[in-house]
Amino acid sequence: MTEFSLRPATVDDFSAIRELIRKVHINPTGLDWPRFVVAVDRSGKMLGCGQLKVHDKDVIELASIAVIPEYRYLGIARAIIEKLTSKAPRPLYLTCRFALRPFYEKWGFRVIKRSEMPCYFRRLDRLTSLFSPLVRLDGGLFIMRLL
């Protein structure tokens, strides 16, 4: 089993964060290294990351949760999510693919209706609805909230 620890990201982590986000095909916008937590092994190699993305003063998103594919299923994503959610204000939002819905429900996140979404997520939901026939989303995207 791979041992890892969590720490706040540094500017030196930014290229590895950006590379990992692209590798796992998640939203590469809004990557701001000071908001990230990274998981590193004993040698300092980054294995995973996540951030709390601020959209508005009261709209915070758990975002950019990514783990290098060969290091998945070792508890890295769980540790990152627990670290970030433990210090995040509520409500906390996230966007996820259909297949990840049960994963995030473990922490109490619930799918919300468009009428319950802050403006940013309503726009995102509308755009997703318009473009989903053109983009392979494996069942669509969910906007979820943790109270």
Average confidence (pLDDT) per 10 residues, the chain, 147 residues:
93 98 94 97 97 93 98 97 96 94 96 95 86 56 94
Query: In terms of residue numbers, what domain contains 69?
Result: 1-88
Domain boundary among 66, 88, 110: 88
Q: What is the pLDDT of residue 113?
A: 95
CA distance 130 to 123: 11
Q: What is the pLDDT of residue 12?
A: 97
**What is the reported pTM?**
0.91
| Same-domain status, 80 and 103 | no
| Same-domain status, 69 and 115 | no
Q: Which residue has the tokens 């049960």?
A: 102
| Same-domain status, 78 and 111 | no
Residues near 105 by beta carbon (within 8 Å), at least 6 away in sequence: 144
DSSP class of residue 116 equals G
Residue 17, token pair as written in the block: 């964060």
CA distance 21 to 28: 6
Q: Is-contact 82 50, C-beta < 8 A?
A: no
Q: What is the pLDDT of residue 131?
A: 66
Domain boundary among 41, 56, 88: 88
Residue 26, token pair as written in the block: 């998640």
Q: What is the pLDDT of residue 116?
A: 96
Q: What is the pLDDT of residue 124?
A: 87
CATH number at residue 36: 3.40.630.30
Q: What is the pLDDT of residue 56?
A: 86
| Same-domain status, 71 and 112 | no
Q: What is the pLDDT of residue 2?
A: 82
Count of structural domains within the chain: 2
